[in-house]
Structure 1
Amino acid sequence: MNKRPTEPYKIRGVEALFGSESEPSASDSQTLALEQIVLPSYHQPRRHFDPISLEQLATSIQQHGIWEPLLVRQQPSNPSRYELVAGERRYRAAQQIQLSEVPVRILTLTDEEALLVSLEENLYREDLNPFEETLGILDWLAVRVGVSVEEVKSTLYQMNNVAKGAVNQNVLVSELSDAIQTGFEELNLISWQSFVSSRLPLLKLPSEILEALQNGELAYTKATAIARIKDEKLRGEILQSAIEQKLSLNQIKEKIAQLTKPTQFSIANSPKGRLQDVVRKVSRSEVWKDPKKWKKVEALLVKLEALVESESMSGSEGSQPEETQGDTEA
């Protein structure tokens, strides 16, 4: 993934719509009563607002105020209300500390323009999780190119197949793929190839993992590791442990290895495998260091040895008549 710009982010959607010279500046901002601002009817890229992060932002606003004005547009149906275009975290933090008014920049935007600006503003903020960013990029491309999200996904998969030489590209797909590729270059967040290989698979994750990822309870790398577990019950147990115990990626991988190992033995259902597994566990536990436990183990070993010797003797006696019979026939 490409590195995000280190300079303060300038909303490219606004610049593209108004031009670099006529773009509203910070001095054009004004204040609005918080109760006059309403959330948009279309969904925002951000699905989850981390309570701790929101609390920190609220504290910062309380101490230093809101440095970057919220972007709003006037509602055509109700001129006294303003629809939030960008800055939902600041809006929610202001609500949390019960601010009466906030700084805003009022823009004149169509529905499509408002959605583009909103998506861009959110995509260039680092605190979107990979799932939210994936959905945001798909939404942005769909609006930018003028097709549905499903068509964007389908075209991306076709582009990937063409790149691999699996299929030939027709003219219509070629035009759409060129537009999508240009879109990725404009965003400069991630290449379309990396998006197909590492981001689109997120949309196919099991529902419980997708929910945890969407709610910010699980990192992207941890989610993909747990998703590889085929057993639903085991996957659920590891997912719960990862969230509750805040396990690292390495700890999750170790836990998966530990819990899937017995499963492999049970699938094989081999007596020899079970015996070897018990011996390994006894060796690792160093049970002989505990006198009480070792006494019990020793009693079991005596019985096991007696059983093995008994079986060995009965096997030898059983073979004797066959040898005798063989001599007689000879």
Structure 2
Amino acid sequence: MTTPKTSGAAPARQQRLGRGIGALLMPDDDRPLDQTRPSDVYFGRANEPADDLQAAPGLRLVALAPGDISPNPQQPRREFDEEAMAELVVSVQENGVLQPIVVRPLAETQGKYELVMGERRLRAAKEAGLRTIPAVIKQAGDDQMLQEALLENLHRVQLTPLEEASAYQQLIEDFGVTHEELGMRIGRNRTTITNTIRLLRLPEHIQRKVASGVITPGHARAVLSVVDPELMDRLVEKIVTEDLNVRQSEAAAIRLAGPTKPKKATGRRHEGLDHIADKLGSRFDTRVRVDLNAKSGRIVIDFGSVADLNRILEEIGEEKWEEGEARERMLAQRTAALRRK
């Protein structure tokens, strides 16, 4: 029989990437310093919070037993990708829970809590057999209070690019805001937020090079333009050994990707089309091509998976692409509509 891990059992994890949402909350003044942060909310530098962080009244950061937390009955998400959940469970078993969940006390039962945010993390912690999970206890009933505290503090604490990316992604997932809404709230350009979040797509060993300053975020974005993991490693090695700047790294990425097939002439290249493609690509966080000739034009949006497609559809306000019977129904309806035309 194996002993279940606790989320703070492995001191060797101190060099994990990112501090996450835990870095954005001020602890209660009346609690001892060593109790203000769970050991699995990792801090890359100082143990003290930034002096100008704004405390959020009624919020506490503690470690709770997963069994003391009830699911949120109003959780809008009913289905969870099994493969993604399995990967998260493995990550939790190896590294603990890196981002605190958010709970509120149950008035009728002392010592019991109801989940506010973090359904996947709670499920993974239970399945992994963790004895404790880091949690933010929200005393007040106003969900806006927590959102305001996190968003206000985001630009006050000194985060590395990867820590920033992790915090952005968690806020977007937990609060359901878009990149643009998050950017407006914290006074940052949406493109900056999108490009920062893209850093999380890097393989972990390359993320560590970004975190340690071996390569810059600009170099990392050049690396992301290379799809093949082996080519990514070759490009990183070239950047480091030859001390390439970002522009040189981008050129090296193009050369590594190999020659591309020459495109058929589609007429005169209109000014501004590349700019439009870049703007759309930033919005959808993927590659977009805009072509125009004398008679017609087209916009091509690349996506890497069904989940990626559904993310883009959601961004433009369209229904998600369903699999199985729902998909067949949808295709039949669209085919019938086309025939009527």
TM-score between both structures, scaled by the size of structure 1: 0.35
Bigger radius of gyration: 1
